[in-house]
């Protein structure tokens, strides 16, 4: 048994333990903290499985921004929680436990029976990488082979924004999302909000750029940019933009919009919708990704900021 195997066994048991603790613990706030830690460790498992792209996304979304959303919700619920403690009956709890265990067993059974070596499209993806001029297979799948799915996922993000905004009161419609944050201008948060963003922006752009040939891409880069933006907002150094701002709206549709326009170009001039001419494939895809990183950063930031609450004046 080498050191890697020992590490994997420890990692797996800690993840399982954290998962059980997250379910079992009564207090929402503790469960949220447990979930964030769980998510970061799951990202480590993805690294061990050589799925670095997935690991980056899991850490950024599951552990990072998802964690922020959940912590915010837990903080808001903390006062009400004491009043609404509902204890399900023992029969319900027992049957839930038994049924969940059976489903888990069936899933484990199905996973263990999967063929080995697994049938995979990975060699085909690598063999067709020449069509785009990029060597990161994940980027090729997302941007070329399954471009339609990626474009529609960006529309889902836009709908999430519409959904969150539609929760505003009619009076606050068109105003700025979330509360106006105030922080001590000489405090640690304001200091970090001045110190980190320059480096964070460089890292985000680097993750996007390197995504052509190495793990990374618009989503992970966008998540880093979004967290930098949120840091500045929370430190009170900048305010959220009013949702009626035309610029904001343009940035929010830039990614799917450009994707759609280039896709239609392929339908009009080329062989098919979402096909790229071989000579321009890489610059076109990079163009879409640049638009997408802006869209993703703005979307994630605004999803965390919440519904419009204050008029824009």
Partner 1 sequence: MLPPAPALATTAGGFLLVLSIVAPVAGILLAFVLGDRHVRQVAFTVIPIGLAIAAAILLAPPESDGPLVYLLGAWPPPLGVALRADGLSTVMLATTAVVICAVAVFAVTDFRPAAADARAPFAFWILLLAIWAALNTIFVGGDLFTLYVALELLTFAAVPLVCLEGRAETLRAALRYLLFALLGSVLYLLGTALLYGLYGTLDIVLLSRRVTAVPGALIAAALMTTGLLAKTALFPLHLWLPPAHAGAPAAASAILSGLVVKGSFFILLRLWFNVMPGLPGFAVTQLLAALGAGAIVVGSIVALRQERLKLLIAYSTLAQIGYLFLMFPLAVDASGKLDSGGALAGGLLQAVSHATAKAAMFLAVGSIYAGLGHDRITGLRGVARALPLSVLAFALGGIALMGIQPSGASLAKELLLEETARTGQWWWAVVLQAGGMFTTGYVVLVLAHALMPSDQPVVLTGPTPLSRDLPALALALCSLLFGLMPWERYLPVPYGAALKLFGIDGLVKLLLPVLGGAALAILLSPGPLPVISSASWNTLRSVVGLCRRCSVEVGRRVERGDEVLRQWPVACISLLLVALLLAASMFASN
**Pairing of the two strands 308-310 and 176-177:** antiparallel
Residue 165 binds partner 1, judged by CB under 8 A: yes
Residue 257 binds partner 1, judged by CB under 8 A: yes
What tokens does 57 get? 């996304």
What tokens does 294 get? 């802006």
Q: Give the range of 7-15, 58-66, 71-79, 89-97 binding partner 1 by CB under 8 A.
A: 89-97
Residues in region 287-306 near partner 1 by CB under 8 A? none
Residue 72 binds partner 1, judged by CB under 8 A: no
Token pair 């610029």 is found at 247
- Considering only residues 6, 10, 73, 99, which one is a binding residue for partner 1 as defined by CB under 8 A? 99
Helix (H, G, I), strand (E, B) or coil at 157: helix
Query: Could you tell me the smallest distance in angstroms from the CB atom of residue 198 to partner 1?
Result: 30
Q: What are phi and psi of 50, to 5 degrees?
A: 65, 20
Which of 232, 239, 226, 236 shows the shortest CA–CA distance to 310? 239
Q: Give the range of 40-48, 182-190, 222-230, 260-268 binding partner 1 by CB under 8 A.
A: 260-268
Query: Could you tell me the smallest distance in angstroms from the CB atom of residue 21 to partner 1?
Result: 20
Residue 155 binds partner 1, judged by CB under 8 A: yes
> How is residue 211 annotated by DSSP?
T
Q: Would you say 211 and 289 are in contact if contact means Cβ atoms under 8 Å apart?
A: yes
* HSE-CB of 221 using CA atoms within 13 angstroms: 24
Q: Would you list the DSSP string of 106-151?
A: HHHHHHHTS-SSPP-SHHHHHHTGGGTT---HHHHIIIIITHHHHH
Q: How far apart are the C-alpha atoms of 217 and 204, rounded to whole Å? A: 9
Residue 156 binds partner 1, judged by CB under 8 A: yes
Helix (H, G, I), strand (E, B) or coil at 288: helix
Residue 46 binds partner 1, judged by CB under 8 A: no
- Considering only residues 149, 185, 199, 238, which one is a binding residue for partner 1 as defined by CB under 8 A? 149
Which of 261, 262, 194 shows the shortest CA–CA distance to 228? 194
Residue 80 binds partner 1, judged by CB under 8 A: no
- Considering only residues 33, 42, 144, 305, which one is a binding residue for partner 1 as defined by CB under 8 A? 144
Query: Could you tell me the smallest distance in angstroms from the CB atom of residue 110 to partner 1?
Result: 4
Looking at the Cβ atoms of 5 and 86, the one nearer to partner 1 is 86
What tokens does 147 get? 């471009």
- Considering only residues 35, 38, 145, 219, which one is a binding residue for partner 1 as defined by CB under 8 A? 145
- Considering only residues 82, 83, 272, 279, which one is a binding residue for partner 1 as defined by CB under 8 A? 272
Binding footprint of partner 1 on the chain (CB under 8 A): 88, 92, 95-96, 99-100, 102-103, 106-107, 109-111, 113-115, 118-121, 124-125, 128, 144-149, 151-153, 155-156, 158-160, 162-163, 165-170, 173-174, 244, 246, 249-250, 252-253, 256-257, 260, 263-264, 266-267, 271-276
């Amino acid at each position: 048994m080498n050191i890697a195997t020992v590490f994997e066994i420890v990692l797996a048991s800690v993840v399982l333990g954290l998962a059980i603790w997250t379910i079992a613990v009564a207090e929402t706030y503790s469960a949220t903290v447990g979930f964030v830690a769980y998510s970061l460790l799951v990202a480590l498992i993805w690294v061990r499985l050589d799925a670095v792209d997935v690991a980056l996304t899991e850490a950024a979304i599951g552990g990072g921004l998802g964690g922020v959303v959940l912590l915010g919700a837990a903080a808001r619920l903390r006062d009400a929680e004491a009043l609404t403690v509902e204890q399900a009956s023992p029969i319900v709890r027992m049957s839930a436990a038994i049924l969940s265990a059976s489903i888990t067993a069936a899933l484990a059974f199905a996973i263990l029976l999967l063929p080995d070596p697994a049938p995979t499209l990975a060699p085909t993806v690598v063999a067709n990488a020449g069509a785009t001029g990029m060597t990161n297979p994940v980027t090729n799948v997302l941007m070329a082979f399954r471009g339609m799915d990626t474009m529609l996922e960006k529309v889902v993000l836009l709908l999430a924004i519409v959904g969150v905004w539609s929760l505003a009161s009619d009076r606050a419609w068109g105003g700025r999302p979330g509360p106006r944050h105030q922080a001590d201008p000489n405090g640690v948060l304001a200091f970090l909000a001045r110190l980190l963003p320059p480096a964070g922006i460089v890292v985000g752009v680097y993750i996007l750029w390197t995504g052509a040939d190495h793990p990374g891409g618009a989503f992970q880069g966008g998540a880093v940019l979004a967290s930098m933006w949120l840091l500045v907002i929370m430190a009170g150094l900048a305010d959220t933009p009013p949702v009626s701002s035309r610029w904001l709206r343009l940035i929010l549709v830039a990614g799917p919009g450009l994707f759609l326009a280039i896709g239609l170009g392929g339908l009009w001039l080329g062989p098919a919708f979402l096909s790229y001419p071989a000579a321009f494939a890489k610059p076109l895809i990079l163009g879409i990704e640049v638009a997408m990183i802006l869209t993703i950063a703005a979307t994630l930031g605004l999803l965390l900021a919440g519904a419009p609450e204050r008029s824009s004046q």
